Structure 1
Amino acid sequence: MGRVILHCDMNSFFASVELLSHPELRSEPVAVCGDPESRHGIVLAKNEAAKRFGIVTAETIWQARKKCPSLVLLPPHLPLYREYSRKINAIYDQYTDLVEPFSVDESWLDITGSLHLLGGDARAVADEIRGRVKRELGLTLSVGVSFNKVFAKLGSDYKKPDATTVISEDNWRGIVWPLPVGDLLFVGKAARATLAQFGVRTIGQLAAMDPDQLETLMGKAGRQLYEYANGLECEPVRARGDVEPPKSIGCGSTFQKDLTGREEVRAAVRLLADDVASRLRRCGRYAGGVAVTLRTPDFQDRSRQRRFSSPTHLMQELAEQASALLDTFWKPPSPIRMLTVTAIALTDGDEAYEQTDLLDSAASRRERQERLESAVDRLRGKYGMGAVRFGASAPGKKEDSLL
């Protein structure tokens, strides 16, 4: 018997959790949104009633209300979503020890080794999990059942809400190949545009392409997508404690007012770099480079990245490099609505510090900065993240990413 992989995807997760406290709104169009007053007015999640009006995640509130004037807006409660995510994954853990979260509301389960203990019918196991989550937590999910992770995820997306879809070694071509190529994992907007130039609009058309041509067009990602489209993906489901270390760590902030001055922008960069560096040190990683992204008031994004001569996990060095990078593509007083600083090319630190002369002033400064930031980490560990901050801060709400 081949592998048996489930992909469990909660239906309208944030909105569904909120509606547990607002049962009177279940039949109404509801969206969970950021705070418009602090300029976080975008849709984070929506229920099925709102979806019927064409409301989509990440659109602005004013766009959503043009589609649905009666839309009910609810504020997000992220700690509550994390708590429900833990409860959901605790149910998954009772079926296998190979549970790999993909996001706060999605997980892969490899039940190959435990299926014989669960009755031998993968669809029945998926239905049982859906039933338990509904009974015990009042939430619904869709489950894809397949022989690899990519097709299992396609299955969970295939029919919603509250459904099980089996994509087997016998039926996968009939189900998968007619789907839009954008439904395939990691085929984003840029990849769709590239493939469309060659008339590729379905997964089946992608599967029929020459893999060497795809690699020429898109690099290693092209060959990977060819394998995905042809059912050749075989990545293992990792146990929760065995998840790969992050490939990047970023922190962004949407500001309550546009930033236009060099000093206030540098203050914002320091604030973001401080959070990124602190998280790098907590997970024992070093940045081999930095990426900076800015968003203008008309929602245009601009981004640049650069590599370092030697990796670092120090706020001072990240901030200096990020500010210098930003200066290459932004000039005051051009307004900035949002700013993100991301540590990239992460390493475990074995090569973090190149050999330097003991009398080298730069090495001495770096050692002092190490001691300073280590001391700050200890204070934050005792009194909380907000106990100590480097320099001034710009008004805004930070948005972290760990990829």
Structure 2
Amino acid sequence: MKNFYPKNGRVILHVDMNSFYASVEMAYDPTLKGKPLAIAGNPEERRGIVVTCSYEARGFGVKTTMPVWEAKRLCPELIVMRPNFERYRSASKGMFDILRQYSELVEPVSIDEGYVDITDSFELGSPVEIAGQIQSQILSQLDLPCSIGVAPNKFLAKTASDMKKPMGITVLRKRDLPAKIWPLPVIDMHGIGEKTALKLNGMGIETCRDLAFANDIQLKSRLGINGLRLKEKANGIDRRIVDPDSIYDYKSVGNSTTLPKDTTNQHDLLAVILQLSEKVASRLHQKDVLGMTIQVMIKDKFRKSITRSRKLENPVGKKEDIYAVAKDLFMKHWNGEPVRLLGVTAQDVVEKSEATEQLDLFSYKKEAEKEPLYKVVSELQDKYGKDSIARGIKGSKGARNDTKTDTSFNKDFLRD
């Protein structure tokens, strides 16, 4: 089987679950199979937005981010269900458990997709055979469909998995670029959004082939280093490794909420900020991190947003500390207009074990009183190891294989 694997390169799979939330609900309740199904927020509130939908619903023109009322207009038979995130996390964990049976190098990207480096898994079969085994196992054990891209790097694997849905397996090599990728408009290339596409179009770069042969100096002047990276990807170059630990690479932890109705009631708005601060504190604790900066976002009835942040001398993680800063920021920068959405974010997060508190005149005495306890803890750790005892601040991160929230979904989706 080694003949199917490159001598010096890598073989990467990108596993992408198809209509994940809807598929999980269908697996849980088979009577939903074959019917137009949408997963959405509360239809009675403005957050009634389609999160995902079945392929049957897509046949009627229903799309992600579409308001529920519009989706129902297009498909009167549409079944609308609220998301059940615990159910989805459980299915996600089951999916990633299966992937780890084929390689230790599994990198979750979101709740429903991930990369697998199978370069050293040749004993299990050819790359296409392994992709087929994974697809079959996820379907048979979890009753969930997925598409898989097979390629020499992450970019090409991601691109390949999007080429055939649902239940597709697509191989994409660098030599396939001229025929399969270069003719496409740049907006269709993974990693390019509308704004970037408009900038590229303004430079005369319309297709992926144009990007592959674009002028480096021109690209960098308009798009910075990202322009050069996009050109590399258009040429099938992607040096990123499959990193199982990247799930723990995050710089911020935040929560936001759209209010049921626009409001100017200060008491109600501060209550929402308190709730958001509590959620952020809980997630910081789960991740075992603290925030060095607190940010507040305020969106008014005209959907105009302002964000304000404050860098702190000492990292914070408690609800009370986060709320105190968030409240102060809100009171200073709210203009009194009706508020539609509020958000609180802890930024510049650091591991608790690495956080160093800059002691001021007021905290010094309190910390000094704990010094005898710290000394005992330090002695025990020196004798029995660093992880033998902690100072009561350890979160619930647990084993890395079992550990994710909001997928904008950032990567806390695997938490227990």
1:45 is displaced (CA, Å) by 1.0
| Structure 2: gaps of 5 or more residues | 1-5, 370-391, 397-405, 412-416
| Correspondence for 2:375 | none
Q: 1:293 aligns with which of 291, 297, 307?
A: 297
Aligned-residue identity in percent: 32
For the 8 Å contact 2:292–2:316, the answer to whether it is kept is: no
| Correspondence for 1:392 | none
User: After the TM superposition, which segments of 4 or more aligned residues of structure 1 sit over 4 Å from their partners?
Assistant: 349-352, 362-368, 398-401
1:169 is displaced (CA, Å) by 2.7
Q: Normalising by the residue count of structure 2, what TM-score does the alignment of the two structures yield? A: 0.79
The worse-fitting range, judged by mean Cα deviation, of 47-56 and 145-154 is: 47-56
1:110 is displaced (CA, Å) by 0.3
| Correspondence for 1:77 | 84
- SS in structure 2 at match of 1:100: strand
Q: CA RMSD in A?
A: 3.0
Q: Deviations over 1:35-68 (max 9, x none)?
A: 1235431111101111122221122101212222
For the 8 Å contact 1:29–1:70, the answer to whether it is kept is: yes
- SS in structure 2 at match of 1:152: helix
1:92 is displaced (CA, Å) by 1.1
| Correspondence for 2:42 | 35
1:320 is displaced (CA, Å) by 3.8
Q: 1:59 aligns with which of 52, 63, 66?
A: 66
Q: Deviations over 1:226-266 (max 9, x none)?
A: 32222221111112x56342121111123333331233222
| Correspondence for 1:136 | 141
| Correspondence for 1:221 | 226
For the 8 Å contact 1:296–1:336, the answer to whether it is kept is: yes
Q: 1:117 aligns with which of 101, 120, 123?
A: 123
For the 8 Å contact 1:16–1:47, the answer to whether it is kept is: yes
Q: Does 1:92 align with 2:113?
A: no
Cα separation, partners in 2 of 1:202 and 1:27, compared to 1, 3 Å? same
- SS in structure 2 at match of 1:209: coil
Cα separation, partners in 2 of 1:191 and 1:362, compared to 1, 3 Å? farther
The worse-fitting range, judged by mean Cα deviation, of 19-28 and 134-143 is: 19-28
- SS in structure 1 at match of 2:14: strand
Q: Does 1:10 align with 2:27?
A: no
Q: How many residues get paired?
A: 370
Q: Does 1:268 align with 2:272?
A: yes
Q: 2:283 aligns with which of 279, 284, 294?
A: 279
Q: 1:178 aligns with which of 183, 191, 216?
A: 183
Cα separation, partners in 2 of 1:40 and 1:125, compared to 1, 3 Å? same
For the 8 Å contact 2:253–2:346, the answer to whether it is kept is: yes
Q: Does 1:169 align with 2:174?
A: yes
The worse-fitting range, judged by mean Cα deviation, of 154-163 and 34-43 is: 34-43
The worse-fitting range, judged by mean Cα deviation, of 216-225 and 12-21 is: 216-225
Q: Deviations over 1:272-293 (max 9, x none)?
A: 1232133224433332323333
For the 8 Å contact 1:286–1:352, the answer to whether it is kept is: no
Q: CA–CA distance in 1 between the matches of 2:229 and 2:310?
A: 26
Q: CA–CA distance in 2 between the matches of 1:365 and 1:252?
A: 34
Q: 2:342 aligns with which of 323, 331, 339?
A: 339
Letter in 1 for 2:77: S
Q: Deviations over 1:157-211 (max 9, x none)?
A: 1111111111113213322223342343432333233333323343333222233
Letter in 2 for 1:117: E
Q: Does 1:330 align with 2:337?
A: no
1:77 is displaced (CA, Å) by 1.6
Q: Deviations over 1:278-326 (max 9, x none)?
A: 322443333232333334456x251424351535224444334434444
| Correspondence for 2:373 | none
Letter in 2 for 1:262: Q
Q: CA–CA distance in 2 between the matches of 1:252 and 1:131?
A: 38
1:31 is displaced (CA, Å) by 0.7
For the 8 Å contact 1:251–1:401, the answer to whether it is kept is: no
Q: Normalising by the residue count of structure 1, what TM-score does the alignment of the two structures yield? A: 0.81
Q: CA–CA distance in 2 between the matches of 1:26 and 1:279?
A: 35
